[in-house]
Structure 1
């Protein structure tokens, strides 16, 4: 690793002891490389990789893609002939957002769902595909700007990859919403049937475990989507395992950040008081930007691990 950095750290009291301990802890699967080696490469990659600028580009592209895609899905809802599905879908969408953004979006969603607009389906479908591909392409461009990515794809090749991955992620998202929606519908039906036939009511303990199961499924879907992005995002991505440490780190941080961000918005933020309904859009934009940073942090971890392997093989 960098001798200059190591020499500077060795001169700092207390920190040099911590560095010495980290050098002795070897990482499995990296042929003797230590936690210190990984941390050094990871931090250097983040500092030299202009992380927040790349996250801003990704956040803007996805913010542009969200509304046409959501509009397309919502315009499909009036045509779904399943009792209770529309309400379950709305609850599933708004539950993924912070409270202020969820309340703002709920009014718009209800209005769209109540009125059939067949003419919007084709236009929103095409626009959502175009902007979705742009959003995924922005993610891939953010990956390729990493300090440790040496080989880059050509523009059209990257856009084709982005389109394919975007369609996969769209199917993953639709499947997630359908599963969560159907689960809620059938739990309500089973509960009503049990009350009518046997008088049995679902206890708070059972409700707790049902909620845990739903969130566990959602976390698995987030992990799977993240793993897909990392695996197909760059040429070097497929050298690593599909289920990578970076995808795990990203999933954990997204869950943690979403929870803490929701608490912050509910208790401390004054965006809604200052800006009115526009504040909900600012909150949504900030939430996307935070997750874009997290997505890049996970990718940098994978890129650092890959670079460590390359250096070990060539040394």
Structure 2
């Protein structure tokens, strides 16, 4: 357990380091520098030529200050709560359907091994729910063929799609936009992103959950195992970063976007989510008496809180992007 904790902390440090590197390199790759004294004049409209790493510290602090004000003025915490509600509504039937279908083609022992690999990444509430669901699949295989599975799949698709549209509404609030897409356009976009979210979750679960399975291989070199243990988190982080950039680009109903002001919010949201999840896991690991306060609802309460934290992280990144972009447009 001690070595696992050391690997987890080291993985977190590596991930933060990669995030810092991506921040600097992405800012360096943006549009050309403003011309200095005696330099050549800038080309193109003033609103189109800027360099993010040329922003003064005072301007960065001003953007951060405006972001905090925007979080309050746009009621980001309340909007995130609405996103969390639809997300929770979609979570349980989706997981139940996926596990039921997966249980038809794989042994429940394999699911248990995958679950052991994500125990350090998911809240205790999520682990308990998944474990109970796996036990039900193992005890009642015939239930997987019931009409309940079909209903669960249909319900999960509707709920997940509605949850994604709720996220889009939150992004519109953060960017100060109104929804201008047609009903068909909005639903097609949300379905695409819902499928992308499922793909991300599958990749994340197998990336994180493959470690305990590989640890059982006798011919696996220790150095390779350590590399996989540490490297899985940066892989998840990079996938998360790419997904957030796509969400910030296509999620809100807006035109005239700048890729240069999409990456900063994506990196900020990823770091806020990673740090928040890490601190939340530390809290749950060191305060085991929370069941006395919340009773049997402790698992659901903390899962709900973690999902709310995730929604807040995404909306904070959007708020930061929108405010930064408006500053340069002015």
Q: Scaled by the length of structure 1, what TM-score is found?
A: 0.76
Structure 1 gaps, min length 5: 1-26, 195-200
Quickly say closer, same or farther: Cα 1:272–1:237, change in 2 above 3 A: farther
The one of 125, 130, 149 equivalent to 2:176 is: 149
Give the whole-Å Cα distance in 2 for the aligned partners of 1:284 and 1:302: 28
* Counterpart check, 1:235 vs 2:262: no
The one of 5, 24, 43 equivalent to 2:68 is: 43
- Which structure has more relative contact order (CA 8 Å, sep 6+)? It is 2
Matches within 5 A, 1:37-186: 37-81=62-106, 85-99=110-124, 101-116=126-141, 117-119=144-146, 120-146=148-174, 148-154=175-181, 156=183, 157-181=185-209, 184-185=212-213
Quickly say closer, same or farther: Cα 1:38–1:274, change in 2 above 3 A: closer
Conserved in 2, the CA contact under 8 Å of 1:55 and 1:289?
Answer: yes
Give the whole-Å Cα distance in 1 for the aligned partners of 2:328 and 2:193: 27
State the match for 2:226 in structure 1: 208
Give the whole-Å Cα distance in 2 for the aligned partners of 1:277 and 1:302: 40
CA deviations on 1:8-55 (whole Å, 9 max, x unpaired) are: xxxxxxxxxxxxxxxxxxx83498673244234323322311111111
The one of 250, 258, 272 equivalent to 2:291 is: 272
Structure 1 residue ranges (4+ consecutive) displaced by more than 4 angstroms after TM superposition? 30-33, 81-84, 179-184
Give the whole-Å Cα distance in 2 for the aligned partners of 1:177 and 1:269: 25
Q: What's the Cα RMSD here?
A: 2.8
Q: Scaled by the length of structure 2, what TM-score is found?
A: 0.73
Conserved in 2, the CA contact under 8 Å of 1:100 and 1:272?
Answer: no
SS, match of residue 259 in structure 2? coil
SS, match of residue 89 in structure 1? helix
Count of equivalent residues: 274
Give the whole-Å Cα distance in 2 for the aligned partners of 1:30 and 1:236: 25
What's the offset of the Cα at 1:92?
4.2
Greater shift in the superposed pair: 258-267 or 130-139 = 258-267
Conserved in 2, the CA contact under 8 Å of 1:143 and 1:233?
Answer: yes
* Counterpart check, 1:297 vs 2:324: no
Give the whole-Å Cα distance in 2 for the aligned partners of 1:212 and 1:174: 19
Larger Rg belongs to: 1
Quickly say closer, same or farther: Cα 1:74–1:94, change in 2 above 3 A: farther
What's the offset of the Cα at 1:209?
2.7
Conserved in 1, the CA contact under 8 Å of 2:172 and 2:253?
Answer: no
Structure 2 gaps, min length 5: 1-49
Give the whole-Å Cα distance in 1 for the aligned partners of 2:190 and 2:295: 36
Give the whole-Å Cα distance in 2 for the aligned partners of 1:273 and 1:202: 44
CA deviations on 1:238-262 (whole Å, 9 max, x unpaired) are: 7132861111111111111111101
